[in-house]
Structures are given as structure tokens and as C-alpha cells.
Amino acid sequence: MTGTLPAVPLRDPDEVMRLSRMGSAHPMRLSFLHVLLRRIASEGWRFDRPLWQIDDRGVGRAVYRARGPERTYCLVAFAHDLPDEMRSDRVIATAWDATFALVDGEPTLADLDRLEANVPLQEAGRISARELSLSRANRSVRLFAHVVDRLAEGRQPDLAEIDAVGYLMRTTAVYGSGKFGAADREDIADRPELKAPFQVEMLSVWLTRAFTVDIAEHLARVKGGAAAVRMEPGLRRRLGVGNSTGLGMAPFLVRHPRLLNAWMTGRETALARVRSLPAADPASLAGFRRALDAARENARHWQSAHPAQVTKLADLGADLAAIEAHLATWDSTQPQPWDALWRWGAGHLSEEGQEALLSLMIEPQGALVDDLARALDADEATGFAIDTAMSLDQFRAILARDYGWAGGFDFTDPAQSARFWYVSEDKLEPRLGDRRAEAGQEREQPLGIAMAVAGLSAALSDWPGAGTLAAFLRGHACHRHTVRRVLMLQGLPYAEIRDNVLAAGMLPIDILRCKLAFFGATRFDPRSDRWVRISLFQGLPYPDEVSA
Amino acid sequence: MTEATELSYSELRSLVTKAARGAGLDWGLAEEAGWAAEWLARRGLPAADWAMLWLGPRSEGQACPVEAGCRLAEGPGGDSLPDGLHGPGYLLPFIARVAAARGPVALTSAQGLVAAVATDGRVTFGPCWGTRTDGWTLGPAADRGPAARPVVGRMTLEGLDAMALRTTVPRSDSSSRDAGAGTMDND
């Protein structure tokens, strides 16, 4: 066959942007922590720990320094002596085992003192434009004690214990982007190393991971003296940083549609590029196999008690086995073999398995897809001012073209508007209420885009055809938010979750899983419909392993 | 809380958005308020204090500068502003949108210049700036470029001159005489 094979188009947003599929997302090589680690490796960043003032109770402060080609960042860690009864992962907690701030540059002693007076207080303290993030972590009591005890005795921790938990500490919040006084995202986003999303937060968590092992080894030395040993590197690698996340993270993807579009476009472009490849070279075939083996290994350790996730994990196990079996008959020498594999998967695998296949197919294709990491960020300011001179006919056409999906929900059915999102007064955190049973819907957050679009469409059809948006908005200020959104998101196919986040059966964990997969999180483990634990950096190198 | 707190721009924007919503603005207008707050703060203007000037009256049902600013920027509807708007600093970001579209604009009252906004959003306050609108209208202003030399109103100039004159000694016969007047110099 001669000539060029047609490029495979990107997947349809009506398929990609449904909650059930977003809730099946897997981490992949464009996930933000992998973007960070590739940059650190390729630029030869250097790491050290210039300060370690931790006493025999495990209380004190430490500094972890990361030196890039142009700038230095330091994680300042404060270790506390937290009574067990005060340990809570909820955002309403007021004390933690350790608290952290990522400093832009190197902290002076005055900075350290200032941070020591504020960082342990978390939300009740203030940081400054010199800091990029604020976070905290709690121990996994069982594994932490086990590791300290074993190391103190001169023995290595039990492999099964390590794998059952997977981390020594879990972060319960990592705040960046101007929160609590930190530097504004806009003012640092032009730095190449911080341009991709959440690089500050990922760097902070990665350095935190080193701290979690250091503090355990420190306490083992205190306890065991000369008999104590350090953790064996292979075991240490199996530890990530845990993370507990609740509803607070869910509205982000609705509030940052341009970012969501950039992330999804990056991932979907990567998939389309791989599917468009005319042939499969031996290296990528071998890489695919390795990725499949790793995924099966990961799936064996991935546990959850949540019914929805139990089903998904069963699907995933069966699907990975099916992929393995299919490889025996898949003709990797046919034209566009990856596309053939993908199309087989679309016909034979669950959504869970299909999205896993996506990650596996991208994994060995770094040369083909890694440049896409440069376009995962988004300018969220452009187009904020509404073009109110636009004719209503033109606006109606845009709405019909881009938001046809929103017409698929019948909001006369109470089940479609059963929920409402609000912010709790006590902790200023997002919550999900029952519209017909709970008070407060007059304080609803504007997150129900499908319902808002339905309301806007109805108002527009009652409005005489001619005229401009200016006239319409003057009579309908309540639709201004939605009008702006529609105009700002023109031409961005993956900006909207094409689902109804107010519906009775909606699972917030689907939104969380999508976002966490883009972070690079593994071991997604819902503890309820609204609360999950995950692991970050598990199996990946530590700073002292990549330092030149 | 007695001390002042330094906020990030995003905190200020988020705070004013929520406060505006809390004061009764619809979400879309509340977003405009948050945007305007950051716009002002990035120019060193007291966005939080100015917000407090109009949030209270707005929650009691009075008109606010964000709604008026949107009207102004989004026309049609003329360039006059309603009287008695509290916190008129929040008009400035919207006037800047007008300036970006139409060229430099000036807010004036019967007494003179209230404020001028250049196409790049630079704000110059005039002598009639105040805490409430009072007969304010918008009109074109000359764009004086980035390094504009000072433009001073007549009354101000006269006042300054009068004060400056106090550094001089009033004329007297002896001063005139001693200066040589009274004789011819062209001899």
C-alpha cells in the first residue's frame, strides 16, 4: 500500500466528557507528576537537605532544597508530636503530624521563624508571596509504627505491610495558587518549570515523600541507636505519599473549563497520534508489554471496599487479562496497528479497561507525545469581558453548536436537579446537598452547567429574535454567568463535563478520579461517594536517586 | 483583628466575588466585581476598601458601580452615570474597557475632571474624584501617551500659583525704586 494513511481524529467529546468515562481515567505519561519528574531528570536538577533540626521526639524543622537550572525551591517541613486522638484527615482538622510550605528560593532564618509561626496553623495562618504552597500530612499510624520499630531493630519492614498501605504519610490538603497569601499562579506561570499545571504542588508532595522516610528513619535511630538501619532502597520505592481528598476538589474541573480542555486535548491528541502511527516498531511493542505487565501488577495491589470501585477493579482485572490474551492474535504488522488495537478495545473492554488501554498505548511513545506536556496549561483570563454587541442570533447559533449535549437532560424530572452544590459556612468547603430536603439552595454555587444552559435556552426562546446580548443581559442578569461561559469556551471541545452534576445518581468520585488521574495518582480508593484516598509517586525515584 | 492582612490577588478576587454575590448580585455580575477588584489592586488602588463602600448599600437594594460599569461598558444607554453610587472606584475597570474600545476617556462632573483612563488602563485622578457619583458623565479624553506631562485645571493652577506667590515679596515703591525702575535704561 502506498500513500499516507489518514490521521485518526480525536475522540468525540460526547464520548470522552461523560462522568462514567472520566471516572475511569488512569494516570499516564502526560500526568503532571510524570511531567515534573521528566523535567527534573532532563535538566539535571540537584537536591539536598540543608537543614535537619528534629529532636528525639520527632519534633522540629527541616529544609529540602531543589535546584533547577534557573531557580531554587525549598520545602520547609515542620514535624509535630500529634496525639493519636487529634489525627483526622478531614479538612476540619486543626493539627497534623507534619506541615509544609514550598518556598520560592531559599528561606532565610527569619523566613523559617515566620513560617514556623504560621505553617503549623495551616488555614489559620498566613504565608506570603515568597511561598508557593501550603500543605500538611498525617501518618499512617500502623505502617509508620511498623517501619520505625523494624528499622530500630535493625530489620527491614515487612513487604506485605508496606504494600497493604503504600505510604508512611498522606497529605490531607496541598494549597497553592495564591491560597492563604501564597504567590499568585499568574505571577509565576511564565516560568518554564511551573508552566504545566500543578507543578508546585507535585514538587512539594515529592519532597514531602522524602521527608516521610527521613522522619521514620530518624525516629528509628532514636529508638534503636546503633542497631538501627535505613530502609532498603527497593522497599523505599514502594512507598508513595498518600492523599486524602474529599468534595473540595470536585468543583475545580467545572470552575476551570479551559484547563480541563487543555488537559483532555493533550491526552486525546496523544491517543490520536499513537492510533495514527502507520506501524508499530519493536521498541514500542516491548514498551507496551512492559506497561501492561506493570498495570497488571498495580491492579493486583489496588484495593477498595467501595462497591462502585470493587466493580471497576473487577472490570479492570478482566480487561487487562483480555488485552493480554488479545495480543496473541493482534497483528502488529497491519497498517495502523495501534488503531486496530484501540478499535478492538472499544468493542470488547469496559470503560475502565478502555481508559487503561489508552494509558498503556501512550506509555512507550514519549518521543511522539511528550511535547504535548507544554500545552497542558491554559490562559483563563482571555475573553472574560462579554462581547455584548453580539447579535442574539449569533449567540443562539453558538449555544446550539456547543451545548446541544445539555439538552439531553429533562429538568422537569426532579431527579435531574436533586442535588445542589454549596459552600459550608463552618469550613468554607464545597458540599453537595439534597435540593428537596436541605435548606440553602438559594446559596447554590453555579456549577450545574447543564441546568443553567437549559434555563438560558428557555429565556432566549422567550426573547424576541432581534437585538444584542447587551439588551438580553440587561433583562436577565441571572444568565450573565452562563453567557460568559458559553462565549469563553467557544471552540474548546473538552471544556465541559457533558453530564449533569446535579443528578440524583451522580458520583462526585468520578470527577475526583479524573482530576487525580491527571495528577498521576494511583490506587484510587473511594471511602465513600465523596471521599477518596490515593497514592502519589509510588514506585518512582526519590530526590536523592535522581540527584547528579 | 487589628493588623492588616496582605492578600494574594486571587484571594482578593475570590473574596470580592463572593462578597458581591452575598450582597445580592447575580453570579455573573459578582464575577465582574471580583475581576474589577483584581484590576484595581494590580494598579495599587484600594480595591478591598472601595468594595466595602458599595457592598453594604447594594445589599440594601441600592445600585452599585459594578452594574453601572457593565452598562457603561456594554452600552447602549448613554454615558451618564446615576447619581449617588457608592464606591465609584469600581467604575474604573469598566471605564478602562470603554477606553480600550473607544480610546482614552474622561469622567467629568460639573466642577471638572473626576478621572481619566487611558487605553492601556492607566488611571489619572482629577480634582473632583469622590466617594459618590454626582453628575458624572463619560466622554473622550486626549491620550497623552505613557509619559504624560501633568495636566492641571484652571482653579488648581490658580490656587497653586497663589500659594507659590507667598514665596515672593509684595511689590513696594522702594523695591521698585531700588530695582532701578524710574530711570531710563536706554541711555
Q: How far apart are CA A274 and CA B110, in angstroms?
A: 68
Contact B111, B128 (CB under 8 A): yes
Residue in B with minimal Cα distance to A387:
B74
Q: Which residue has the cell 505519599?
A: A241
Asked if the Cβ–Cβ distance from A481 to B5 is below 8 Å, we say: no
Instruction: Please tell me the pTM assigned to this model.
Output: 0.90
Contact A384, B35 (CB under 8 A): yes
Amino acid at A184: D
Tell me the ipTM for this assembly: 0.85
Asked if the Cβ–Cβ distance from B10 to A126 is below 8 Å, we say: no
B111 located within any domain: yes
Asked if the Cβ–Cβ distance from A479 to B29 is below 8 Å, we say: no
B187 located within any domain: no
* Residue A448: exposure state from Cβ atoms within 10 A (0-12, 13-18, ≥19): buried
Given this model, what pLDDT does residue B181 score?
42
Contact A89, A172 (CB under 8 A): yes
Given this model, what pLDDT does residue A1 score?
45
- The kind and range of the H/E element at B109 are strand B105-109
Q: How far apart are CA A369 and CA A380, in angstroms?
A: 24
Q: Chain B: which residues have CB within 8 Å of chain A?
A: 5-11, 25-29, 31-32, 35, 67, 71, 73-76, 97
Number of residues that make up chain A: 548
Q: Chain A residues with CB inside 8 Å of B31's CB?
A: 384, 480-481, 484
B71 located within any domain: yes
The C-alpha of B75 sits at a distance from chain A's nearest C-alpha, in angstroms, of: 7
End-to-end CA distance of chain B: 79
The one-character DSSP state at A183 is P
Picking from A255, A256, A382, A388 by the largest number of B CB atoms within 10 A of its own CB, the best residue to mutate is A388
Given this model, what pLDDT does residue B162 score?
79
Domain boundary assignment for chain A: 32-246+537-546, 257-369, 392-488
Give ∠ CA B98-B100-B104 in degrees, rounded to 5. Answer: 75
User: Cα–Cα distances in Å, from B156 out to A265, A442, B122, B164?
Assistant: 59, 51, 22, 12
Q: What is the dihedral of CA A481, A482, A488, A493, to 10 degrees?
A: 150
In DSSP terms, A78 is beta-bridged to A61, A99
Asked if the Cβ–Cβ distance from B76 to A470 is below 8 Å, we say: yes
Asked if the Cβ–Cβ distance from A480 to B6 is below 8 Å, we say: no
Q: Which of A325, A328, A298 is nearest to A524 (CA)?
A: A298
List of residues 6+ apart from B101 with CB closer than 8 A: none
Q: Chain A: which residues have CB within 8 Å of chain B?
A: 126, 128-129, 177-187, 384-386, 388-389, 446, 470, 473-474, 477-484
Picking from A184, A252, A429, A468 by the largest number of B CB atoms within 10 A of its own CB, the best residue to mutate is A184
Collapsing DSSP states into helix, strand and coil, what is residue A194? helix
List of residues 6+ apart from B81 with CB closer than 8 A: B68, B72, B88, B91, B107, B133, B136, B137, B138
Q: How far apart are CA A296 and CA A319, in angstroms?
A: 10
Asked if the Cβ–Cβ distance from B31 to A484 is below 8 Å, we say: yes
- For residue B166, how many other CB atoms are within 10 A of its CB? 7
How many domains does chain B contain in total? Answer: 1
Residue B137 structural domain = 9-167
From its phi and psi, is residue A100 left (phi > 0), alpha (psi between -120 and 50) or beta? beta
Q: Which of A361, A374, A325, A348 is nearest to A197 (CA)?
A: A374
> Cis bond leading into A9, ω under 30°?
no
Picking from A388, A480, A487, A488 by the largest number of B CB atoms within 10 A of its own CB, the best residue to mutate is A480
Q: Which residue has the cell 494509558?
A: A359
| DSSP secondary structure letters along A438-455 | SS-GGG--TT-HHHHHHH
Q: How far apart are CA B39 and CA B55, in angstroms?
A: 17
Amino acid at A373: A
Q: Which residue has the cell 517541613?
A: A77
Q: How far apart are CA B88 and CA A48, in angstroms?
A: 52
Q: Which of A524, A28, A19 is nearest to A309 (CA)?
A: A524
The one-character DSSP state at B132 is B
Q: How far apart are CA A481 and CA A471, in angstroms?
A: 15
Q: How far apart are CA A144 and CA A127, in angstroms?
A: 29
Q: Which of A286, A274, A275 is nearest to A369 (CA)?
A: A274
| DSSP secondary structure letters along A52-96 | EEE-TTS-EEEEEEEE-SS-EEEEEEEE----GGG---STT----
Given this model, what pLDDT does residue B20 score?
94
Q: Which residue has the cell 471496599?
A: A305
Give ∠ CA B31-B33-B36 in degrees, rounded to 5. Answer: 110
The β-bridge relationship of strands A240-245 and A167-175 is: parallel
User: Cα–Cα distances in Å, from A283 out to A12, A47, A279, A327?
Assistant: 30, 32, 12, 16
Given this model, what pLDDT does residue B151 score?
61
pLDDT (tens place) for every residue of chain A, 548 residues total? 446 788 999 999 999 999 999 999 999 999 999 999 999 999 999 999 999 999 999 999 999 999 999 999 999 999 998 877 777 766 667 789 999 999 999 999 999 999 999 999 988 899 999 999 999 999 998 899 999 999 999 999 999 999 989 999 999 888 998 889 999 999 899 999 999 999 999 999 999 999 999 999 999 999 999 999 999 999 999 999 999 888 888 899 999 999 999 999 999 999 999 999 999 999 999 999 999 999 998 888 888 888 888 898 999 999 999 999 999 999 999 999 999 999 999 999 999 999 999 999 999 999 999 999 999 999 999 899 999 999 999 999 999 999 999 999 999 999 999 999 998 887 778 889 999 999 888 889 999 999 999 999 999 998 887 789 999 999 899 999 999 999 999 999 999 999 999 999 999 999 999 999 999 999 888 888 888 889 999 999 999 998 75
pLDDT (tens place) for every residue of chain B, 187 residues total? 447 888 999 999 999 999 999 999 999 999 999 999 999 999 999 999 999 999 999 999 999 999 999 999 987 767 889 999 999 999 999 999 999 998 999 999 998 899 999 999 999 998 899 999 999 999 988 766 555 566 666 776 687 777 777 777 766 665 555 554 444 444 4
Given this model, what pLDDT does residue B149 score?
60
User: Cα–Cα distances in Å, from A502 out to A15, A92, A136, A347, A435?
Assistant: 19, 25, 31, 30, 9
Given this model, what pLDDT does residue A88 score?
75
Q: Helices marked H in A19-100 — which ranges?
A: 19-22, 32-43
In DSSP terms, A76 is beta-bridged to A63, A101
Asked if the Cβ–Cβ distance from A483 to B76 is below 8 Å, we say: no
Q: How far apart are CA A409 and CA A417, in angstroms?
A: 10
The C-alpha of B161 sits at a distance from chain A's nearest C-alpha, in angstroms, of: 44
The β-bridge relationship of strands A72-79 and A98-104 is: antiparallel
